[in-house]
Amino acid sequence: MTQSKTLKVTPNENGFGAEITGLDLSRPLPADTLEAVKAAFVRHGVVWFPDQPLDHDQLEAFTLQFGGYGHDPYIAALAERPHIVEVRREPDEKATVFGGSWHSDWSFQETPPAATVLHAKVVPPVGGDTLYADGIAAYETLDPALRRTIETLKAVHSAARPYGTKGFYAGEEGRKGMTILPSAEAEKTFAHPLVRTLADGRKTLFINPVYTLGVEGLDATESNAMLGRLFAHMLDERFIYRHSWRPNMLTMWDNRRATHNATGGYDGHLRLMHRTTVAGERPV
């Protein structure tokens, strides 16, 4: 039986997030199957594939079926694997959970990654869920007057807060599992549409509390008030999916639509993931 015939997509009730089963990701997907997976990814924003033991070569090959690699700055990759980042937290580690604030991966870049792929190697027995917030649903449920107000605005993004020379990671202590690389480069800024139009025509909020510094054309007070209101709305529990991991689960999410937040709650246990990104386009 071909993989296209065994493919099964099981969406969450609200359509944001879906489980995909019946595939073997260790081998290249046939063209029709790959197109079906891509369609599910666009439709649901977050997709996960349980029970997929993959080595480095297989993880890289899976990623490249969706596009070229994204550029991953400020975090040391695996030796001899420049496109795989090991997201690791040791059992006795005291540093904060990496990615433990709401963000969209690398939104501060001129062309942020379209997707992030995360493969679970070691999953702690407690905690460690990832939260995802749906920017499309948040946009569509905004007050119509506010939607009109923000439709043509641009938001300023930067990596300065976490990765700048005076950022959070530059001053932290106690990290063991990962090497963070703060840099003056992180202090550059790019402006992107606050409301992003996706390839299928749908619109989404494209802002996040970590990398979005302000709104072009507004003073600091007005900008902070607007972003605060939008963040409170987009992170409402109505739009959030809590994802629980299992060993060998591969999860892929759309950074153009979804913001995410890595939770803790597993002190005393190792958590180990391997991460790649898929290159994206300049937001419009």
pLDDT one-digit tens code per residue, 164-218: 999 999 999 999 999 999 999 999 999 999 999 999 999 999 999 999 999 999 9
Express as a percent the part of the chain with pLDDT over 70. Answer: 99
Does 122 fall in a domain? yes
45-74 average pLDDT score: 98
Pairing of β 154-158 and β 212-215: antiparallel
Does 56 fall in a domain? no
In the chain, the amino acid numbered 155 is A
Does 191 fall in a domain? yes
Does 233 fall in a domain? yes
Residue 179: which CATH number?
A: 3.60.130.10
Does 283 fall in a domain? no
- Please provide the average confidence, as pLDDT, over all residues in the chain: 97
| pLDDT of 23 | 98
pLDDT above 70 for 55: yes
Instruction: pLDDT band for 34, please (50, 70, 90 cuts).
Output: very high
Does 38 fall in a domain? no
In the chain, the amino acid numbered 134 is D
Instruction: pLDDT band for 3, please (50, 70, 90 cuts).
Output: low
Tokens 């700048």 sit on residue: 164
DSSP SS3 for 234: helix
Neighbours of 96 (CB within 10 A): 16
Domain span at residue 134 reads 74-243+254-278
Does 12 fall in a domain? no
Pairing of β 46-49 and β 18-21: parallel
Does 3 fall in a domain? no
Structure tokens belonging to residue 6: 């065994």
CA separation for the pair 121, 123 (Å, rounded): 7
The number of distinct structural domains making up the chain is: 1
